[in-house]
């Protein structure tokens, strides 16, 4: 019997190699992506290797302080200039290990052994021999890059998202945890799971005692955000009166003694906001530039198509989704990066970035890797990590006809429609212009 769902997303988009190739050509190669944080490339000659799908990309700090972006590809015979996966390196110039060609930080070819054995017309043509570049811009303390010379400037791409993120002063924060999970699933399977709160009541039910999973969603052009109210029980939680231990901990963390707190469970969120507001002139946290709801709630921004920022006033988590270097559409990298501002004089040990197999592989100790981590974040992350490969496996069955989406999951339909438009050949600017910027709809204070 035919069903009535004509909105369905084709499940083969989660495993088809053809679809993955179309996504690479029309989406990944055309939009802006989040690269390394600027603090990861502090000194002249410092390089950060960042992979995106099949591309290895070099971000280098140059003598004038700017950051250059070069494909990690020797122009001679294609060898990788710097071996290795994601992470820092140092290169005062780029010397290829294969035959010794040397390139400067401007990408120019500076030295060729036995130069006289080549056609000088070719060697002296920078179009033939300079390292291929890609565009790099800075925003919120991060480098951003696009592989498309025709893409709109970053600020235009971010649109109304930019000013909303600026309120969080993200450039002041420092990386305190950075780990990468390799999952046996499509990148969208993980992206989808982190794009909605409908699953909190089933998968993350511990949250219900202190957080509301019923999260308003606002579409901002091709991007979007969702607000999770924290400091009040979910409407699904039976006890709306008693200040349970999780709510007491939130009071304590904002400087209120739970023992003397006179309010009910539903009063905690407002009390937390008021406490933080009273501290705004004497804190490293960006309370002064945040609205009341942002003092208690998590603002979860989706930057099309590969980044989520889950922003709390005291720290944030950047989640970055990357297709796998090997090209298998059923593998992906998920970067989990926690950043927090440090008070004057405060320091943390340098983070160590590590890559772990996720999915069904045990990740208990991986969750504790950060120089600073958060037990609740770890628990929730662990639940999501355990989930995504099961979703991929189920979607792979002939029994699965495609998702049936609620209004709480409309961000998924929204970004998939943008991908579709790009694959069908529409200009990115046209799609951006056609997507409405909805009025902000935050929960009340
Ligand atoms: S491949 Fe790089 S010098 Fe030959
Ligand atoms: Fe989740």
Is 246 touching ligand 1 by the criterion CB < 6 Å?
no
Cα-to-centroid distance, 112 and ligand 1 (Å):
9
CA distances from 74 to 98, 102, 107, 418 (A): 9, 9, 10, 34
Q: In the predicted model, is pLDDT for residue 444 greater than 80?
A: no
Separation CA 36–CA 415 (nearest Å)? 24
pLDDT above 70: residue 341: yes
From the CB of 74, is ligand 1 less than 6 Å away?
Answer: yes
In this structure, the answer to whether residues 194 and 52 fall within a common structural domain is no
203 in the same domain as 90: no
Ligand nearest to the CA of 298: 2
424 in the same domain as 384: yes
Q: Give the total number of structural domains in the chain.
A: 2
Q: Which domain holds residue 313?
A: 160-233+291-434
Q: What pLDDT does residue 132 have?
A: 98
Instruction: Note whether residue 131 is domain-resident.
Output: yes
Cβ contacts of 437 within 8 Å, gap of 6 or more: 159, 160, 219, 220, 221
Average pLDDT across the chain, whole number: 95
In a shared domain, residues 76 and 218: no
Angle at 107 between CA 105 and CA 111, to 5 degrees: 90
**Residue 148 CA to ligand 2 centre (angstroms):** 32
Question: Ligand 1 centroid to 409 CA: how many Å?
Answer: 49
Cβ atoms of 137 and 311 within 8 Å: the answer is no
Q: Is the separation of the CB atoms in 130 and 85 below 8 Å?
A: no
Q: Are residues 90 and 212 in the same domain?
A: no
**Confidence band, pLDDT 50/70/90 cuts, at residue 272:** very high
Q: Are 272 and 250 in contact (CB under 8 A)?
A: yes
| pLDDT in the model for residue 172 | 96
Banded pLDDT at 365 (limits 50, 70, 90): confident
Query: CATH no. for residue 324?
Result: 3.90.380.10
Looking at per-residue confidence, does 18 or 373 come out higher? 18
Residues 311 and 202 both lie in one domain: yes
pLDDT value at 5 more than 90 = no
Whether residue 342 is contained in a domain is answered as: yes
Read off the pLDDT band of 412 (50, 70, 90): very high
Q: Indicate whether 164 and 134 sit together in one domain.
A: no
Q: Which residues surround ligand 2, an ion (CB under 5 A)?
A: 384
Q: Check whether residue 63 and residue 205 sit in a common domain.
A: no
Q: Is residue 9 part of a domain?
A: no
Whether residue 357 has its Cβ less than 6 Å from ligand 1 = no
Are 127 and 167 members of one domain? no
Mutation probe of ligand 1 site: the residue of 71, 99, 128 with most atoms within 8 A of C-beta: 99
In a domain? residue 365 = yes
- 191/132 same-domain check: no
Q: Which ligand is nearest to the CA of 385?
A: 2
The span from the CA of 276 to the CA of 288, in Å, is 9
Give the pLDDT band of residue 3 (cuts 50, 70, 90).
confident
* 1 has a pLDDT exceeding 70: no
pLDDT tens digits for 185-220?
Answer: 999 999 999 999 999 999 999 999 999 989 999 999
Identify the residue whose C-alpha is closest to ligand 1 atom 3.
99
Confidence at residue 2, expressed as pLDDT on a 0 to 100 scale: 64
Question: Which of 70, 76, 131 to mutate to test ligand 1, by most ligand atoms within 8 A of the CB atom?
Answer: 76
User: Do 429 and 307 share a structural domain?
Assistant: yes
Q: Which residue's CA is the nearest one to ligand 1's atom 4?
A: 99
> Taking residues 356-384, what's their average pLDDT?
85
Whether residue 381 lies inside any domain: the answer is yes
* 395 within domain boundaries: yes
**Ligand 1 pocket, 79 CB below 6 A?**
yes
Residues 318-341: what's their mean pLDDT? 96
**Predicted confidence band of residue 56 (pLDDT cuts 50, 70, 90):** very high
Mean predicted confidence (pLDDT) in 300-307 = 98
> Per the domain annotation, does 196 fall within a domain?
yes
Where does a domain end: 108, 139, 170? Answer: 139
CA of 315 to the centre of ligand 2 (A): 18
Residue 75 CA: nearest ligand 1 atom is: 2
With respect to residue 264, please indicate whether it lies within any of the assigned structural domains.
no
Centre of ligand 2 to C-alpha 413, Å, is: 18
Q: Are residues 43 and 100 in the same domain?
A: yes
CA separation for the pair 306, 35 (Å, rounded): 11
349 phi, psi to nearest 5 deg: -65, 150
């Amino acid at each position: 019997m035919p069903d009535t769902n004509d909105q369905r997303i084709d499940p083969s988009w989660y495993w088809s190699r053809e679809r993955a190739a179309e996504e690479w050509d029309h989406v990944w190669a055309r939009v802006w992506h989040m690269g390394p944080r600027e603090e990861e490339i502090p000194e002249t000659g410092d390089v950060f290797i960042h992979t995106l799908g099949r591309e290895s990309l070099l971000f280098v700090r140059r003598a004038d302080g700017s950051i250059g972006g070069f494909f990690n590809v020797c122009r001679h015979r294609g060898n990788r200039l710097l071996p290795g996966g994601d992470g820092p390196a140092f290169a005062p110039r780029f010397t290829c290990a294969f035959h010794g060609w040397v390139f400067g930080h401007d990408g120019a070819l500076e030295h060729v052994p036995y130069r006289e054995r080549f056609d000088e017309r070719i060697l002296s043509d920078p179009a033939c021999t300079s390292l291929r570049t890609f565009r790099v811009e800075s925003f919120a303390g991060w480098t951003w890059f696009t592989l498309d010379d025709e893409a709109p400037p970053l600020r235009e791409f971010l649109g109304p998202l930019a000013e909303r993120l600026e309120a969080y002063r993200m450039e002041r924060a420092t990386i305190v945890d950075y780990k990468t999970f390799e999952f046996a699933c499509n990148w969208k399977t993980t992206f989808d799971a982190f794009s909605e709160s409908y699953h909190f009541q089933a998968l993350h039910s511990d949250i219900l005692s202190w957080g509301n999973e019923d999260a308003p969603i606002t579409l901002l052009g091709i991007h979007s955000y969702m607000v999770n109210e924290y400091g009040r029980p979910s409407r699904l939680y039976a006890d709306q009166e008693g200040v349970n231990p999780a709510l007491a901990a939130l009071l304590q963390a904002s400087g209120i003694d739970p023992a003397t707190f006179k309010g009910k469970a539903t009063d905690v969120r407002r009390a937390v906001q008021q406490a933080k507001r009273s501290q705004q002139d004497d804190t490293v946290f960006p309370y002064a530039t945040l609205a009341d709801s942002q003092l208690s709630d998590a603002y979860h921004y989706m930057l099309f198509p590969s980044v989520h920022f889950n922003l709390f006033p005291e720290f944030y988590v950047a989640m970055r989704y990357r297709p796998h270097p090997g090209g298998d559409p059923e593998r992906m990298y998920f970067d989990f990066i926690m950043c927090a501002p440090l008070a004057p004089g405060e320091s943390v040990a340098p983070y160590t970035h590590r890559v772990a197999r996720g999915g069904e592989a045990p990740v208990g100790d991986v969750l504790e890797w950060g120089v600073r981590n958060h037990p609740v974040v770890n628990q929730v992350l662990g639940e999501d990590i355990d989930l995504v490969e099961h979703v991929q496996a189920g979607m792979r069955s002939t029994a699965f006809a495609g998702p049936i989406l609620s209004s709480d999951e409309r961000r998924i339909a929204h970004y998939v429609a943008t991908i579709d438009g790009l694959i069908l050949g529409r200009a990115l600017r046209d799609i951006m212009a056609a997507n409405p910027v909805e009025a902000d709809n935050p929960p009340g204070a």
